[in-house]
Amino acid sequence: MDDKILRKYMSRMCDLNHAAELMQWDLKTKAPKNALDTHAATIATLSTESFKMSVSDEMKGFISAFENDDKLDNILKASLKDLKRTYERSKNIPEKLYKEYITHTTKSEMVWEDAKRNNDFESFRPYLEKTIAFNKEMAAYIDSSKSIYDVLLDNFETGIPSDQINSLFEELKQGIAPLIESISHKERMDDSKFYGHFEKRKQKEFAEYMLNVIGYDLKSGRLDESEHPFTIGRAPYDVRITTRYDEKDIRSSLFCVLHEGGHGIYEQNISPALIKTPLAVGTCMSIHESQSRLYENILCKNINFWEPIYDKVGELFPQFKDISLDTFYRGINIVEPSLIRVDADELTYNMHIILRFELEKALFTGDLQVKDLREAWNEKMKEYLGIEPPTDAQGVLQDCHWAEGSFGYFPSYALGNIYGAQFVTKMEAEVGTLEYLLKEQRLDIIKDWLKNNIHRFGKMKTSTQLIQDVCKTDIDVKPIIDYYKSKYSKLYSM
Amino acid sequence: MDDKILRKYMSRMCDLNHAAELMQWDLKTKAPKNALDTHAATIATLSTESFKMSVSDEMKGFISAFENDDKLDNILKASLKDLKRTYERSKNIPEKLYKEYITHTTKSEMVWEDAKRNNDFESFRPYLEKTIAFNKEMAAYIDSSKSIYDVLLDNFETGIPSDQINSLFEELKQGIAPLIESISHKERMDDSKFYGHFEKRKQKEFAEYMLNVIGYDLKSGRLDESEHPFTIGRAPYDVRITTRYDEKDIRSSLFCVLHEGGHGIYEQNISPALIKTPLAVGTCMSIHESQSRLYENILCKNINFWEPIYDKVGELFPQFKDISLDTFYRGINIVEPSLIRVDADELTYNMHIILRFELEKALFTGDLQVKDLREAWNEKMKEYLGIEPPTDAQGVLQDCHWAEGSFGYFPSYALGNIYGAQFVTKMEAEVGTLEYLLKEQRLDIIKDWLKNNIHRFGKMKTSTQLIQDVCKTDIDVKPIIDYYKSKYSKLYSM
């Protein structure tokens, strides 16, 4: 069989996915209110079409024809491997079930947006229950030999089972709990100057300036507003990010933008040779989050990052002219228990993830019912962070993941923290210390290193392969713990 | 055969078209610069897929199975008739040619945008030449018994051949030429107060206010910026319009918005019963333009329209507080030869169309070559309007139609003027004079009349059927000539 046929087949799948993704983006950022049903129907048609192609007899034929074909180039070989994995996972899922699921989750997201806006968990509850039922049914079709939650985890992080995540998170918890405890006895750093009125328009200008600083390319992307920040893309030439603005405090949107900017940089630097294959995408969500959280935190919450550009902050928002860079730096690094995951500091952030990991696992073992989810959320918030959400919008309704059916996604964020520190340790050894690179505004060197070692490969390598190839070690919690210890002992004089 | 299969088939075609249209909208309003190639590829894939469905053996089977099936409801009957027409016209076009054409025109539009921006006809010329060659080739496949231009006309106005258009336009020319001539000897009305600086942001606010006044529903649509104003939609719940802003003069964008708003109102009021059939769209471009030009001109350039809302103009743009409603009214109705079609007054506008009609006809008879098009354009401008474009951006490059391959579209605008006046004459007889309806701000009555008589039918009726059913006459140039005579004799005291 000529591999041109396979290429053409993949190209058509990519185009269908491209259109479906763009319609998702549109629905969340631009589409008029009344467009929901027609958009949902078209998204379902396109996704189902692509799904059907992934499990078709033709696909089966490609797999058996090319599987042992040594003449295929490396990209086609890796593509075929990925297509085979998808085929094996999806071949037993009934098409009708899949289409119903896509239609359901597209609507569920919109219902969630309203529910969050109106702080009304009950209106969203039946949708969530149905999403969970759908996921249970599908997981059984995918791999009935594994626990449902482990099957779902594989959608986002291939090959790391929940037991291993459990022990990594245990180690993480033990490393950060004493730090959080010590900091809780310290005086709160003064950030009174951060509160005020900051026009959306100005924040957007600032965001685009910052994206430019870190190396996100606005000619191959754009920045919009949405209920929940996200990145969506057709790598490498059209990778879009979103944020939402809090007009009372610039920090919230600023670090969302830098986070999504990190995702965006990853996708924008995938090799163009992977276009029109299933590999032109970040390899899995934990590696993706390692990049986004690396930009958001390790790079952009470092004092050296701000030193060369601090004047710009005062230029756009004059109230910052009154405070020193040091006060600014302290203000963006306050450690304290808070309600909203995406706004949390680097340390307590991990507790937000562990909470979600435990809850979603329980939803699928049957230990927790959706009707008790709100209460379980609030109890865990009290246990881990000592605070209780006054509203569901600030609690169980805050994130979009469950609304869109992404169970098993949350662990990626904390795994991303862990991997990110491993990568940075290696990068510093190879191209210079962060202090030097940031002070000299050599974000280009950082981006190039990440591109050469991680980004360009897209989905050619798995997360474990990448970590092995780049760091020459296994997954290791120590670097992130060391980073936290060093950063916060200085900041809080401990 | 169960008609459910046909419905499902039509529904899939609609979804593919929906996605392709949304990507077109995205490309012209939001997409990052580097997204062009991937967007063009996906649009071509989706459009070709829908094209293939329209000429497939399955489609042939539906036509023969249902053609004489009396049990079909009226909507399915009309759908089948439309599908058959498309089938007959398209069945001989090679799929490969079609796909190449779509890819080519998607890029051609983007090249035209740059060419217009840079006032560089030469960079666009090879694209235009190729578009014309494509159209010639395709027209021969569609119907080799007709002239190429007549085949192309049928894409936009079904059943009115170029000879008939010729004689309608002759009559139109004879009616308006003396008026233009007389007005040219009158003193120019004073519009000095219209010039100034009008912020985009404010103009957008004004535009949305005006859209609300005329009854365009922003919950089922949105307003964006683009190089050339257009309306695109999935009727009736997602019909989007665009404009561009001139910060020196509000009139340009204002009347673009009201024009596109008219298109939008048409599509938003198509019966929801037609969703997921090929009939959920305006019946043809001349009827579409009759609605847009009716709103833009007959309604919104009438003094009575402005009387109840004139305070709003001064509120948003204080310089208008200094001029009376009468001066404002005169300022939006100045008749004088001008360069840009979309900004032209109602009378000379028709000359812009006649010029384009003659030029595009000549491009397809072979009487005119693309290399001589610019010169021919400028000569005709001199002949018909007495002025010559100083730049190509203000001349031959000003419109998007040829760039996107829409030859045969332009006559629709002048036909729309003719039909619009016929419709208004009938409407006034049935629900009250325009003077009354506008003074009392009863745009709702106007919209309902248009909806009941025209909009709701979508593509269920052809233009000639609609005119017959509504006006009980054939196409008639007299009402628009009478309207012009009455309006301008008052305005210019003739």
DSSP state string for A318-352: GGGGGS-HHHHHHHT------S-GGGS-HHHHHHH
Which residues are within 8 A (CB) of A142 and not within 5 positions of it... i.e. 6 or more apart?
Answer: A89, A90, A92, A93, A151
Rounded Cα–Cα distance for residues B209 and B202 (Å): 11
- Give residue A273's pLDDT: 98
State the burial class of residue A208 (Cβ atoms within 10 Å of its Cβ: 0-12, 13-18, 19+): middle
Q: From B294, B298, B321, select the one nearest B310 (Cα to Cα).
A: B321
In the set B157, B260, B296, B404, the catalytic residue is B260
Taking CA atoms, A274 is separated from A21, A217, A241, A380, in Å, by: 18, 19, 21, 43
Q: From A259, B450, A446, A80, select the one nearest B442 (Cα to Cα).
A: B450
Peptide bond into B236 cis (omega under 30): yes
CA A151, A153, A157: angle at the middle one, nearest 5?
A: 125
Partners of B249 in the β-ladder: B195
For chain A, the residues whose C-beta falls within 8 A of a C-beta of chain B are 11-12, 15-16, 18-20, 22-23, 26, 30-35, 37-39, 41-42, 45-46, 217-222, 234, 237-238, 240, 275
Helix (H) or strand (E) holding A223: strand A223-225
Could you report the predicted ipTM of this complex, rounded to two decimals? Answer: 0.93
If phi > 0 it is left, if psi is from -120 to 50 it is alpha, else beta; for residue B75 that is alpha
User: Do A240 and B26 make contact, defined as CB atoms within 8 angstroms?
Assistant: no
Token readout for B33 is: 């610069």
- Please say if the pLDDT value at position B173 is more than 80: yes
Q: From A410, A362, A434, select the one nearest A153 (Cα to Cα).
A: A410
User: Do A32 and B234 make contact, defined as CB atoms within 8 angstroms?
Assistant: no
The count of CB pairs under 8 A between chains A and B is 94
3-state helix, strand, coil in chain B (%, to 5): 70, 5, 30
**What count of residues does chain A have?**
494
Rounded Cα–Cα distance for residues B483 and A265 (Å): 59
Secondary structure (3-state) at B324: coil
Cβ of A381: how many Cβ atoms within 10 Å? Answer: 21
Cβ of A270: how many Cβ atoms within 10 Å? Answer: 27
Q: Phi and psi for A197 in degrees, rounded to 5?
A: -115, 120
CA B165, B168, B170: angle at the middle one, nearest 5?
A: 105
- Give residue A356's pLDDT: 98
Helix (H) or strand (E) holding A234: strand A231-234
Rounded Cα–Cα distance for residues B101 and A360 (Å): 50
State the alpha helices, DSSP H only, in B1-35.
Answer: 3-29
Residue with tokens 């990519």, as numbered in its chain:
A14
Rounded Cα–Cα distance for residues B373 and B364 (Å): 12
Compute the nearest-CA separation of B86 from chain A (Å). Answer: 22
In the set A260, A296, A360, A404, the catalytic residue is A260
Helix (H) or strand (E) holding B240: strand B238-243
Token readout for A401 is: 């993941």
Tell the CATH topology of B162-491: Neurolysin; domain 3 (1.10.1370)
Secondary structure (3-state) at B232: strand
User: Do A34 and B240 make contact, defined as CB atoms within 8 angstroms?
Assistant: no
Write out pLDDT tens, residues B288-304. 999 999 999 999 999 99
Token readout for B446 is: 């106007």
Token readout for A313 is: 């902050």
Write out pLDDT tens, residues A246-284. 999 999 999 999 999 999 999 999 999 999 999 999 999
CB B8 within 8 A of CB B35: no
Token readout for A479 is: 């670097």
pLDDT band of B356, cuts 50, 70, 90: very high
Of all residues in chain B, the one with the smallest CA distance to A272 is: B38
User: Do B222 and A32 make contact, defined as CB atoms within 8 angstroms?
Assistant: yes
Count Cα atoms within 13 angstroms, Cβ side, for B33.
6
Q: Are strands B231-234 and B223-225 parallel, antiparallel or unpaired?
A: unpaired
CB A195 within 8 A of CB A387: no
Extents of the domains making up chain A: 3-144, 162-491
Rounded Cα–Cα distance for residues A176 and A180 (Å): 6
How large is the average pLDDT for residues B259-267?
98
Compute the nearest-CA separation of B154 from chain A (Å). Answer: 29
User: Do B222 and A26 make contact, defined as CB atoms within 8 angstroms?
Assistant: no
Compute the nearest-CA separation of B207 from chain A (Å). Answer: 17
State the burial class of residue A57 (Cβ atoms within 10 Å of its Cβ: 0-12, 13-18, 19+): exposed
Question: A241 contacts in B (CB within 8 Å)?
Answer: none
Write out pLDDT tens, residues B176-233. 999 999 999 999 999 999 999 999 999 999 999 999 999 999 999 999 999 889 999 8
Long-range contacts of A143-146 (CB under 8 A, 24+ apart): A143/A89
- Please say if the pLDDT value at position B157 is more than 90: no
User: Do B219 and A45 make contact, defined as CB atoms within 8 angstroms?
Assistant: no
Compute the nearest-CA separation of A224 from chain B (Å). Answer: 10
**One-letter identity of residue B494:** M
Write out pLDDT tens, residues B95-124. 999 999 999 999 999 999 999 999 999 999
E strands, B227-327, are: 231-234, 238-243
Mutation site for A-interface testing, chosen from B7, B39, B42 by largest number of A Cβ within 10 Å = B42
Q: What b/e readout covers B21-31, taking b as 16+ CB neighbours within 10 angstroms?
A: bbbbbbbbbbb
- Give residue B61's pLDDT: 97
Q: From B320, B294, B274, select the one nearest B73 (Cα to Cα).
A: B274
DSSP for A95-145 reads: HHHHHHHHHHHHHHHHHHHHHHHTT-HHHHHHHHHHHHHHHHHHHHHH-TT
CA A336, A338, A341: angle at the middle one, nearest 5?
A: 120
pLDDT band of B389, cuts 50, 70, 90: very high
CA B99 vs. chain centroid, Å, equals 25
**One-letter identity of residue A125:** R
- Give residue B135's pLDDT: 98
Rounded Cα–Cα distance for residues B179 and B301 (Å): 18
Rounded Cα–Cα distance for residues A355 and B39 (Å): 40
CB B403 within 8 A of CB B397: no
DSSP class of residue A33 equals: G
Helix (H) or strand (E) holding B243: strand B238-243
Write out pLDDT tens, residues A116-140. 999 999 999 999 999 999 999 999 9
| Entry pTM | 0.94
DSSP class of residue B224 equals: E
Peptide bond into A32 cis (omega under 30): no
CB B148 within 8 A of CB B136: yes
Among this protein's residues, is B113 annotated catalytic?
no
CA B290, B292, B296: angle at the middle one, nearest 5?
A: 115
pLDDT below 50 — which residues of chain A?
A: none
Token readout for A51 is: 């799904």
Rounded Cα–Cα distance for residues A20 and A232 (Å): 11
Secondary structure (3-state) at A230: coil
**One-letter identity of residue A420:** G
User: Do A46 and B15 make contact, defined as CB atoms within 8 angstroms?
Assistant: yes
